Structure 1
């Protein structure tokens, strides 16, 4: 479904990604594991169009994404939930979620919001409340719902467990399972891999802007343990 080949990214002359290649099949949940600065977020940003690789290719269902803007990639079916949630603090929970479907017909927005409230009851309970008043875990639910409101083919999650208490890690894991049950393909990055490995089908270990290892969950778990990502 998503194919990344030999992409390279640099910031101000400093190389962030070196000849990185990954493949994600439809319906998979693929995990990027690595320490802070390993290149995980840079890879996700290159896929969504937030940064421009100076080499390599990115294809979604065989379509070359390199010349497409971030908004055009989103319309092709790429959803994104950023590290740190980044909700619109003064906007209501409802408006935060619906902002993810901006440009969609009103009926599609209503339908999407309805099913999201079914799987995430918090949205209905807090829909009029400013999102900035929610806890970190509650904001993560809002960020997930915002990313899912346009019904993406593939959802990119950047550090979804970052800074969360164990009870919210469990709830966010349940939310990801709900997304998986809908058949959504997921690419997820995590620095601390233990909870993410319970959700993934396979993964890649990154270090120094490169993919060092890849394999199934058991293989990646052993590598992550040896590199102290658990």
Structure 2
């Protein structure tokens, strides 16, 4: 479904990604594991169009994504939940979620919001509350829902556990499992490898902008990831 080959990303004269290649099949959840600065977010941002690659290929269901703007990538079927949630603090929960509706009709966006409200009841319970008043875990739910408004075929989750208490890591994990049950393909980046691996089918370890290891969740769990890679 997603095919990335020999991806190169540079910031000025610094290489953030060097000849990175990954493949994701439809319905899989694939994890990018690595320390801060390893290149995880650069890879995610390249797929959604926030970073322009210096080389390589990015294809989603056979369509070339390289060079597309973020809104074009979203219309091509990519949803994006950014690192740090980045909700609009002064806007209501409902308006934050609807901000992901792009050019959807009011009727269609209301239908999708209704489905998301069933999936995440908090969206209805706090619909009129400013998103900046929510806890970090609640804001992460809002970010998930905003990314899901267009019913993407590929959902990008950049550090969904960042800064969350264990109770919210558990709740966010439950939310991811529900999204998986609906057949959404997920690419997730995380420093917290152990809870994230419980959600993933496969993973890639990235360090210094290069893929250093890949395998299924069991194989990666058997590595001393926090010592050898993070």
TM-score (norm 2): 0.97
- Residue 106 of structure 2 corresponds to which residue in structure 1? 106
Correspondence for 2:50: 50
Which residues of 2 match residues 160-175 of structure 1 at below 5 A? 160-175=160-175
Deviation of 1:66 (Å)? 1.4
Matching residue of 1:18: 18
Report if the CA contact (8 A) 2:52-2:67 is conserved: no
Task: Report the CA distance between 1:219 and its aligned residue.
Answer: 1.3
The separation in 2 between residues aligned to 1:149 and 1:66, in whole angstroms, is 23
- Rounded to whole Å, the distance in 1 between the matches of 2:202 and 2:152 is 21
The number of equivalent residue pairs is: 229
For 1:1-230, list aligned pairs within 5 A: 1-223=1-223, 224-227=225-228, 229=230
SS in 1 for 2:142: helix
Secondary structure in 2 matching 1:35 = coil
Structure 1 Cα separation of the partners of residues 133 and 179 of structure 2: 25
- Cα distance, 1:9 vs. partner? 0.4
Q: CA deviation at 1:218?
A: 1.1
Distance in 2 (CA, whole Å) between partners of 1:59 and 1:150 is: 19
- Show structure 2 runs of 5+ residues with no match: none
Question: Which blocks of at least 5 consecutive residues in structure 1 are unaligned?
Answer: none
* Secondary structure of 2:27's aligned partner: coil
Give the superposition deviation at 1:227.
2.0
Task: State the alpha-carbon separation in 2 of the partners of residues 192 and 135 from structure 1.
Answer: 20
The CA deviation at 1:208 is 0.2
Distance 2:112 2:171 in 1: 21
Quote how far apart the aligned CAs of 1:228 are: 6.0
Calculate the aligned-residue CA RMSD, in Å: 0.9
Scaled by the length of structure 1, what TM-score is found? Answer: 0.97
TM-aligned CA deviation for residue 226 of structure 1: 4.8
Q: Secondary structure at the match of 2:5?
A: strand
| Superposed displacement of residue 181, structure 1 | 0.8
